[in-house]
Structure 1
C-alpha cells in the first residue's frame, strides 16, 4: 500500500532532509513550509501520516493537529518541537497527537517513529475496511440459516454479545468461525473499538510472542525500536485468536496470564502492560483430546471455554444450502455485474453434496459458477465435476439399496407363505430372531 506523508516544517534544510529520508523508505511525501499550506493540503488530499512542527509562522502545529483530527481522524500526527516547548507537545498529546519528537533529533529516530505510526494507521484502516465489509455481509441479520441448529446459534450469539465473557468457537474448517467472532464484536459494547484478528497457525513459532505482545528496542537483533503487539492494538476492543489449538505451550502460558490478570510484558521490557481486551478464540481441534495428549494446557482450556459456541457443519444443516446459494449468488452478481441464477436442479445437486469444506467451499463454488457463466442460468452440468460425480454415486448407491431392500422383502414374503404365516418357523428358516423378523415385517410393511 502506498502511504503518503505530509511534512510541515518552516526550516528549509530540515524539511528537505526529512522529505528525502522518507522518500528513500518508499513513502510518498508532500512537504510545505507553513501552517496555511498545510491546512489547505489537509482539505485537498488524504494522508497516512502528518509530521508537523509545533511553532510555525501563521497557523500553528496545534491548528494543523485539530484540522487533521477533524478531516482525517484515523491519520496519526507526530509533533516536532524544540526542547523549550515540550509543554506544547504534551498538550498536543492530550489533544490526540500520536507522539512528539524533540529537536535536534536523529533521522533514524524519526523514521522509526513514523514507521510505528504508519503500521498502526494501516491496521486502523484495515479495521475500518473490515468493519464495513462485515457490516455489509456478516452482520447478525445476514448470517444465514433457518435450520434449528443455526437458530440455536443465533439465540446464543444474541446473549453472549451483550456480555464481556470469553468465548470459544468450535467447528470444522469453513463453518464461519471468524464471521461469528465478528458478529459477537459488532453486536457488543466494544463495537466502536478495534477487533484484531490473529491466525495462530500462520505465525512462525519464533515470531508468535513478538506479534502478540510486541517488543522493546534492542529486545533482539533487528529490534530497532518499540513495536506494539496485537494485544496493544486490541486495547478497549476484541482480539480474535483463530486456530488457538496450534499455539506453543509457552505462549499458551502467557495467554493464560492475560486472561487472568489482563497484563503482559513486551519482549525485552521490564514493565508490565495492562490492557482491556475481550478474547474470542476458535479452533477446529478437539481441545479436550489435546489436553489429554499434553499439547494444550488444561487450565487455559477451562479459561477459554467460558461460553462455547459450536458451529454445525453444512452437511448437518442442508436445509440452509438453498438460502446460502441465493445469498452468495446475489453477492457475486453485485460484484461482477452479472445476472446469473441457479436452476432448481443445480440447487438440488448442491444440496445432496456433503461439502467437506463447509460454507467456505460452497462460497467458492458459487463464485466460480457465476464468474464462468455465459447465459445467466447455472445448471448441474456447470457445477464442478466432483460435485456432480458425488451426486451420481449417491444415486447408484440408493438404487442398489432399493434393489436389496425389495429382494429382502420378497424373500421374507415367500418364506412366510411357505410357513403359512408361522413367524416362529419363518424366523428359524431365515436364521434370525423372532424380534428381528417382526421388525423387518414392519419395516417393509408386509401384510399377509
Structure 2
C-alpha cells in the first residue's frame, strides 16, 4: 500500500496503519512514486485530491495509468476539494476518504477492496458509468439499506444484485431471486409467503416461502412493478414488521433478510396511474441504482463480448478472437436487447465462425442485413421513365359484418403496430398500451393461436393480418 503525504492531518490519519498490519510506503514526489510503481506490485495507491503545486489527482491517475499501473486508487481529500474528488472518480478512482480519518475507516476501505477483487472476475466495468455504479454498489453493500435497481431489460440488474449480496456481510447466506412477472398471479402469494398443508386445494404438504428461505441472506424481487396491488400491501407489512405468516397459519416467523428490488418500469409513473403503492416504493427505494443501457456505455461492449466469448467457448476449443471489423460492428450496433442480446449474438457467432476468428458476418447483426437490403433495391428504377401504377381497390365484401371480429382485429393491429414501434420490446409495449406485461403475453399467445406468426409480421415477412382464418367464437 502506497500513499503521498499531504499535510499533518493526513500524517496523523495514517500513522496507525503499520500497527494494524498494513505495509505503508510513503513517497513525496510524482517521480519517486512512478519509480516505486515500476519496482513493485502495489495493492492500493492513496493520492491527495490536490497537490501543493495545483496538480489534481485526476491528472496523476492518467499519468500512472499510462505508465502501466492498473491497481486500485483511493483519493484522500478535505471538504473543500469536492470537485477534484469527482474528477478523480471519473478517471477511475475506486473511492475516497475525507481527512481526518481513523484506522477503522482505512480498514473498512481495504476490506471493500479485497471483496471487490474477489468478485471482479464476473464483473465487467470499463466505462465511467459502470465503474461509478459498482463503486456505489460496493459502498451500499456494507449496509442493510434496501436497494431499488432500475434499468432496461437485459442490462444486468440481477448481476448487480448478486454483486451487492456477494460484497455484503450476508455473502455466506442464501441469495434468492424471484421474478414477479413470471409467476401466475394465483401462485405468487404462496411462493412468496409459503403455505401450510391443506391451506388451499392442492397444498398436500407445508412449504416455506421465498421470504423465509432467504432468512440470513438476500431476497431479490425482480420485475417488482408486476406485483399485484393486493400483494404489494401484504409485502409492505412483512417488510415493516420483519415477520411473515404462511398461508393457512397464524404462526409468525421472524425474518432477517436484505431486500433488493429491480424493475424496468417507471415506478413513479406507475404510482401516478394507481398501479403501484407509494409507501412500498419509498420502502424499497432507500438507495437507488441505475443500470445504463449498453449503447450508453460503449467502452463495456468489447470487454463484455470477450468475457462472454470465454464463458461460452466449447471445452477444448482453441482461443477464439474477434477481427477488427467484427469489433467495429459490435461497437456500432445499438443493442436494443442490451447485454442479453449481446450474449445471444456471441453464442450465434461461435456456431457460425470458421477457425479461430469471429468475423463481421459471423455476428449476423440485424443492421448488417438491413444495410444489405438497402444496397440491393427490389426493382431498379429508370431515370428516364416515370410510370404511374394504378391502385387496385378490393371488391366490396358481401359477407355479413362481424362487430366482435372487427374489434379483435383492431386490437391485434394496435398491438402489432406498438410492438413494431418498440422493436418487439414487450415491457415497453405493455407500458405504452396501459396493460401489464402478463396481459400482453396472454394477448400475443391468443394471436398465435389464431394462426398469426408474430415474428414474421414484425420482421415484415408477413405484413398482413388474415381475418378469414380467425376464430372468435
338, 349, 357: which is aligned to 1:377?
357
Partner of 1:240, secondary structure, is strand
Q: In the TM superposition, what are the counterparts of 1:258-273 in structure 2 within 5 Å?
A: 258-273=238-253
Question: 1:175–1:359: 8 Å Cα contact kept in structure 2?
Answer: yes
- Indicate the RMSD between aligned Cα atoms, in angstroms: 2.4
Where do residues 190-209 of structure 1 align in structure 2 (5 Å cutoff)?
A: 190-209=170-189
Structure 2 stretches lacking a partner, 5+ long = 1-114, 377-473
The normalised TM-score by structure 1 is 0.56
CA distance in 1, matches of 2:144, 2:120: 18
- Aligned pairs for 1:126-275 within 5 A: 139-275=119-255
* Conserved 8 A contact 1:291-1:298: yes
The secondary structure found in structure 2 opposite 1:356 is coil
Deviations 1:270-322 (A, max 9, x none): 22221111101100011001000100000000111001110100000112211
**Distance of aligned partners of 1:391 and 1:166 in 2 relative to their CA distance in 1, 3 Å threshold:** farther
Partner of 1:306: 286
Which of 284, 293, 297 aligns to 1:317? It is 297
- 8 Å CA contact 2:223, 2:262 repeated in 1: yes
Structure 1 unpaired stretches of 5+: 1-134, 397-448
- CA distance in structure 2 between the partners assigned to 1:395 and 1:189 by the alignment: 57
- Secondary structure of residue in 2 paired with 1:207: helix
Deviation at 1:225, TM superposition (A): 2.3
Across the two proteins, how many residue pairs are aligned to each other? 262
Structure 1 window deviating more from structure 2 (174-183 vs 251-260): it is 251-260
1:277 and 2:277 equivalent? no
Could you say what secondary structure the match of 2:208 adopts?
coil
The 1:315–1:176 alpha-carbon spacing in structure 2 relative to 1, beyond 3 Å, is same
Q: CA deviation at 1:332?
A: 2.0
Distance 1:319 1:332 in 2: 21
Alignment partners' CA distance in 1, 2:368 and 2:127: 25
Structure 2: distance between partners of 1:312 and 1:345: 25
Shift of 1:154: 1.4
**Structure 2 match to 1:36:** none
Structure 2 residue aligned with 1:105 = none
Instruction: Tell me, in whole angstroms, the C-alpha distance in 1 between the residues paired with 2:281 and 2:360.
Output: 45
Matches of 1:271 and 1:142, distance apart in 2? 41
Q: Higher Cα Rg: structure 1 or 2? A: 1
Measured in 2, the distance between the counterparts of 1:394 and 1:358 equals: 25
When residues 383 and 138 of structure 1 are mapped into structure 2, their CA distance, relative to the original with a 3 A threshold, is farther
Per-residue deviation at 1:339? 2.7
Aligned to 1:337, the other structure's residue is in SS state: coil
* Residue aligned with 1:218, SS: coil
| 1:197 counterpart SS class | strand
SS of alignment partner, residue 261 of structure 2: strand
Shift in CA distance, 346/241, structure 1 to aligned 2, threshold 3 Å: same
Once the two structures are TM-superposed, the CA of residue 199 in structure 1 deviates from its matched residue by 0.6
Distance in 1, Cα, partners of 2:118 & 2:354: 29
Q: Report the CA distance between 1:212 and its aligned residue.
A: 0.5
My pick for the range that moved more, 143-152 or 276-285, is 143-152
Give 3-state SS (helix, strand or coil) of 1:347's partner: helix
Equivalent position to 1:356, from 317, 336, 345: 336
2: CA distance between counterparts of 1:238 and 1:395?
Answer: 53
Contact 1:235 1:275 in 2 (8 A): yes
Residue 213 of structure 1 deviates from its aligned partner by 0.5
**What is the distance in 1 between the residues matched to 2:296 and 2:252?**
47
Task: Provide the rounded CA distance (Å) in 2 between the counterparts of 1:259 and 1:336.
Answer: 48
Shift of 1:234: 0.5
Residue 350 of structure 1: how far off its partner (Å): 0.9
Q: Does the 8 Å CA contact 2:149/2:290 hold for their aligned counterparts? A: yes
> 8 Å contact 1:352–1:391 — kept in the other structure?
no
